[in-house]
């Protein structure tokens, strides 16, 4: 397993591993209760986060997809992300924001690009670059 996150009230977990779909596990029963097939290339380097009734998944598609936890359908996608293992996703329900980021090589140094999106619609509301 590469990463796991609690969903909602903490009764479920979303787990991602290399070359498998993201699986949703009910903690009381231990049963798989859903899965998200994120790409034909697996989820190597993928990340997951949850909040606001959504499951955010990055994969080799160069986007972070926001899946509705009720239907497991994509509600919106956040484009422009690296497929590298350095990607991250963070959700603040209190602020109504999603932060995503990737590291990239700029001339002579690593930099990190952080982008902010609204949790409700996935509209980009800001970004900044910092030296790593």
Tell me the pLDDT tens digit for each residue of 16-48: 876 678 899 999 999 999 998 765 454 445 688
pLDDT at 53 over 90: yes
Tell me the pLDDT tens digit for each residue of 98-117: 999 887 777 888 888 899 99
pLDDT recorded at residue 10: 92
How far is the C-alpha of 59 from the C-alpha of 47, rounded, in Å?
7
pLDDT recorded at residue 132: 59
- Considering the entire predicted model, what is its pTM? 0.85
């Amino acid at each position: 397993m590469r990463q796991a996150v609690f969903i909602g009230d903490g009764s479920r977990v979303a787990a991602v591993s290399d070359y498998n779909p993201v699986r949703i596990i009910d903690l009381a029963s231990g049963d798989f209760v859903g899965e998200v097939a994120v790409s034909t290339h697996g989820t190597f380097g993928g990340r997951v986060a949850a909040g606001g009734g959504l499951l955010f998944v990055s994969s080799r598609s160069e986007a972070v997809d926001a899946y509705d936890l009720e239907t497991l359908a994509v509600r919106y996608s956040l484009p422009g992300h690296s497929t590298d293992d350095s990607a991250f996703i963070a959700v603040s329900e209190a602020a109504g924001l999603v932060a995503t980021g990737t590291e990239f090589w700029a001339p002579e140094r690593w930099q990190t690009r952080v982008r902010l999106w609204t949790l409700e619609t996935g509209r980009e509301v800001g970004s900044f670059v910092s030296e790593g």
